[in-house]
Amino acid sequence: MSEKRILLIIGGGIAAFKALLLIRLLAKRGVKTSTVITKAGEEFVTPLSVGGLSGEKVYTDLFSLSDEQEMGHIELSRSADLVVVVPATADLMAKAARGLANDLASTTLLATDKRVLYAPAMNVRMWEHPATKRNIETLRENHALFVGPEEGDMACGEFGFGRMAEPETIVEAIEKILAGKTHLDDLALKPLKDKHILITAGPTREPIDPVRYLSNHSSGKQGYAIARACERLGAKVTLVSGPVAIAPPSGVDMVQVETAREMLTACESALPADVFISVAAVADWRPKTNTDKKIKKDKQELQPLALSENPDILRTIANGENRPGLVIGFAAETDNVLNHAKAKLAKKKCDWIVANDVSGDVMGGDNNTMIIVTKDGADEWSLMSKQDAAHKLALKIVETVA
C-alpha cells in the first residue's frame, strides 16, 4: 500500500476519534493521508491533532482563499487513490446521495472521480430509518463501498447496528480496495466467507423424569452472540443449542437439542467444519433414572440420585477423525481461572481455551471478561459486552483461518 494516498473525510460523530487511530495505522503502512474535517467533525477532533498525526495539511473550509490557491477542492478530491469517510454520518451520506455540495466535504464527494469507502456510524434507529436505507442504496448504485457498521453497544447507551467498524477493519477494507478487489464480497465485511463454523451454546437439560431435569444457569447469550458475529463476517454457521430463551440469530443453521448426548450427535452430523467453538455449558452428568412416569415423592429412587457421566463433546470432536482446523473450548471457572484453563487446553486438545471467571454474574449476564489461552500464552481482554467480546473473538478467528 506504500506510496498510496487516501483522502480522509472526518464527519461529526462520537466515532471521529477512531479516525486518528486510522491515520496512524495507515501511516505505519506507508499510506499518506490528506484530511478534510467537516464543521461537525471539528466538534470531536481538531485539525491540530489530525495534522499532527498525518503530518499533512488539514482542510476544513470550502471558501478558504489560501487553501484554494494551494490546492483547489477539485484537485483535492482527485489527488487521492481512494476517498474514505470516517465516520460516515447519516447527514454526510444523505448529502452525498442527493448530490448536495454546500461545504468542503460534500463538494469533494461530488467532485471526486475516485471510489468512496464509507464507514457508517450512527444510532441504531437512525441506521434503520428508511431514509438512511434509501440513501445507502443510492450510494451503492453510485458505486460507493461500505465497511460496517457493526452490531454492539453504542455511545448513546443503546444496542444494535450502527457502531462504526474498528480502524483495523477499515484498514483491511482499504487494503483490499487498493489491491483492486472492489466487489462487496471481497471487502473486510465477509472475511469468513466459505468457512463453516460449528458452535454449541446454552445449557443441556438431562431429564430425571417427564417433569424434572438437571441443568445449569447458562443463558446462551455468549454462544448466540458469537454465532451472530461469525455469520456477519460471512461464515456459514451451524449453531447447536440447548434450551434457551433467546431468539435464533438470522442467517444461521439452528439445531435445537436438549441433552448432552443429542448435542454430540448433532455436532458430529454437522461436521466437517473449519472451526468448532464449544460454548455450551454441557451438563457433566445425567441421571441414571429417566422414567417415563413422574417419580412420586414417597419413592426412594431419588435418594441419592444416581448419575452417569455424559460424553465430553469438545474432547470427542477435538480428538475425532474429522477434527476442525481450529478448535476453541470455553472454561467456566470460579477460582484459579488461568491454571484450570491451561489444564483444559492440554486435556481436551484444543487450540484455544476462552476462560471466563463465572464467580460473578457472567452466567446469564450481559458482560464478560475473556482470557484467551493458547499454547503460546494468555491474553486477557477487559470487561466488555458479550456482543463486543463475540466480535473480537470472531476477528481473532479471521486472523487465524481467513
Q: Which is nearer to ligand CTP, 79 or 334 (CB)?
A: 334
Grid coordinates representing 238 are 451451524
Q: Is 330 in the site for ligand CTP (CB under 6 A)?
A: yes
Which of the residues 243 through 262 are near ligand CTP (CB under 6 A)?
Answer: 260
Contact (CB, 8 A) for 178 and 117: no
Grid coordinates representing 309 are 457421566
Q: Is 67 in the site for ligand CTP (CB under 6 A)?
A: no
CA distance 5 to 3: 7
| Closest CB 367 distance from ligand CTP, rounded Å | 19
Q: Which of 32, 205, 344, 391 binds ligand CTP (CB under 6 A)?
A: 344
Count interface residues toward ligand CTP (CB under 6 A). Answer: 15
CA distance 57 to 148: 28
User: Of the residues 156, 230, 267, 350, which is catalytic?
Assistant: 156
Q: Which is nearer to ligand CTP, 132 or 310 (CB)?
A: 310
Q: Which of 332, 372, 373, 393 binds ligand CTP (CB under 6 A)?
A: 332
Contact (CB, 8 A) for 181 and 159: no
CA distance 15 to 146: 16
- Provide φ and ψ at 35, rounded to 5°: -130, 140
Q: Is 329 in the site for ligand CTP (CB under 6 A)?
A: yes
Would you call 230 a catalytic residue per the annotation? no
CA distance 157 to 123: 9
Binding mask 171-210 for ligand CTP (x = CB under 6 A): -----------------------------x----------
DSSP 8-state class, residue 212: E
Q: Which stretch binds ligand CTP (CB under 6 A): 35-43, 141-149, 179-187, 276-284?
A: 276-284
| Closest CB 229 distance from ligand CTP, rounded Å | 17
Q: Which of 284, 301, 357, 366 binds ligand CTP (CB under 6 A)?
A: 284
C-alpha torsion 85→86→87→89, nearest 10: -10
Q: Which residue, chain included where needed, has cell 441443568? A: 215
> Which of 171, 88, 179, 178 minimizes the C-alpha distance to 136?
88
Q: Which is nearer to ligand CTP, 38 or 310 (CB)?
A: 310
| Residues with Cβ within 8 Å of residue 3, at least 6 apart in sequence | 30
Contact (CB, 8 A) for 160 and 151: yes
Binding mask 302-321 for ligand CTP (x = CB under 6 A): --------x-xxx-------
- Interaction site with ligand CTP (CB under 6 A): 200, 260, 278, 280, 282, 284, 310, 312-314, 329-332, 344
| Catalytic site positions | 156
